[in-house]
Amino acid sequence: MIEPGKGTASDNLRTLGTLGRTGTVPLTLGVEEEFLLVDARTFRVVPAAPRVLATAEGQPHQLHAEGTRYQVEISTPVAESATGLRAELAALRRALAQAARDHGCRLLASPSPVLTVDQPLHLTDDEPRQREQHRRFGALTDTLVSCGRHVHIGTLDVDTAVAVSNRVRPWLPTLIALAANSPFWNGRDTGHASWRAMAWSSWPSAGLPPHFGSTAHYRRSVQILLGSGAALDTKMVYWDLRPSGRWPTLEFRAPDMSADIDTAVLQAELVRALVATALRELAEHRPDPEIREDVLRLARWRAAHDGLEGFGLDPFTGAELPAAGLAESLLDLVAPELAAAGDLDHAARTMSSLLRDGSGAHRQRTAYAHRQNLSDVVRHLADETEAV
């Protein structure tokens, strides 16, 4: 996805500085999006991924299978602008949506299966790793039928990515609240705005990343996960935020998949600006923010529970605040970097729409409220997914 960069961590901090102000090494964007495939009549997930991928128009390296045959994934090329990223996402979504329709399916940018999923799961047949996961982790693999969006920010070496991770992790709960889009799971309302965030964190290698004292500390933490049996390999380091094991990037994994493409782009804009802000602060030798781990863990749960419409916890103070206010604080924090990248207008406009019209979770519950019929929720998600 991202070409490897050159130079040491200190070199990167000196040259990167802030996005747009130095102009030397612009931070790049890359996104992976996962989708469900549902029957166009029954709206239940169907194991149609092999057929859809075989006929979808697009570069083979940009369209992929996922952990189950109910899912497909796209990987964008590297983008230097949010505008270019949006165009790539739209083109790939259109290609998959058309292929899905050709096989009697709808493409669904849904983090969770709204209707019940038949057991046993249809795991990816040609992937022995998935079968080994199922053997070792049992019922935890039920959560594989969920979809996230992973945003890669590059180019960063591992030392720099670890240092940036420490600085941006307090904002992970707010990113979860902004993207909350999984209130329904397997035929019921979960009482959470992002049940995917809760279900996925049941994996022993998932959830909030530690605060790392050094790159060596980060590497030891990964090795402990592998040695304990909590992860088969480095691909199973499922932290909400991690240095990518494959690319020289920092990978944001916490937020739900968004049916609305502008919300997806907003997340990419915000996290790139967060990384740029962290790089500036590191170059200025500012200390890492002091965060209580118990408060951050509770803030993550509250964000998944309330979403954007309720309350959240200020990760720095532990105070209960409106989630919308925390989102606006994040936008204010990174506004200089958004402006430098040319993203401020789009980010502010999309944030305003979210605060006015509600999060994805809110819109799903609104769709359900009319007839108390979950099929209406699936239809709503499919329509939003195709509106690119």
Alpha-carbon dihedral sign for residues 126, 128, 133, 135? positive
1 assigned to some structural domain: no
338 assigned to some structural domain: yes
- Does position 13 have pLDDT exceeding 50, yes or no? no
Using DSSP bridges, classify how beta strands 241-243 and 105-108 pair: parallel, antiparallel or unpaired: unpaired
- What pLDDT does 7 receive? 37
**Average pLDDT, stretch 132-153?**
93
Lowest-confidence pick of 74-88, 107-121, 220-234: 107-121
Collapsing DSSP to helix, strand or coil, 237 comes out as coil
Using DSSP bridges, classify how beta strands 184-185 and 241-243 pair: parallel, antiparallel or unpaired: unpaired
**Average pLDDT, stretch 227-239?**
96
4 assigned to some structural domain: no
With pLDDT > 70 as the criterion, what percentage of the chain qualifies?
92
Does residue 8 or residue 174 have the better pLDDT?
174
92 assigned to some structural domain: yes
239, 221 in Cβ contact below 8 A?
no
- Does position 367 have pLDDT exceeding 70, yes or no? yes
- Does position 246 have pLDDT exceeding 70, yes or no? yes
Nearest CA-CA partner of 323 in 303, 296, 293, 301: 303
Tokens of 236: 């199973």
Helix spans in 229-322 (H): 261-283, 293-306
Phi-psi region of 92 (alpha: psi -120 to 50; beta: other; left: phi over 0): alpha
Q: Judging by beta carbons within 10 Å of its beta carbon (0-12, 13-18, 19+), is residue 24 exposed, middle or buried?
A: exposed
76 assigned to some structural domain: yes
54 assigned to some structural domain: yes
Our measurement of the distance from residue 274's CA atom to the centroid of its chain's CA atoms, rounded to an integer in Å, reads: 15
3 assigned to some structural domain: no
- What pLDDT does 185 receive? 97
Angle at 179 between CA 210 and CA 113, to 5 degrees: 100
- Does position 14 have pLDDT exceeding 80, yes or no? no
Domain count, the chain: 1
Instruction: Look up the pTM and report it.
Output: 0.93
pLDDT digits (tens, 9 = 90+) for 308-361: 999 999 999 999 999 999 999 999 999 999 999 999 999 999 999 999 999 999
Our measurement of the distance from residue 78's CA atom to the centroid of its chain's CA atoms, rounded to an integer in Å, reads: 17
Q: Whole-number mean pLDDT of the chain? A: 92
> Which residue range is the domain that position 285 belongs to?
9-386
pLDDT digits (tens, 9 = 90+) for 15-60: 444 443 434 468 999 999 999 999 999 999 999 999 999 999 767 7
Domain of 240, CATH number, reads 3.30.590.20
94 assigned to some structural domain: yes
pLDDT digits (tens, 9 = 90+) for 121-132: 888 765 688 788
364, 377 in Cβ contact below 8 A?
yes
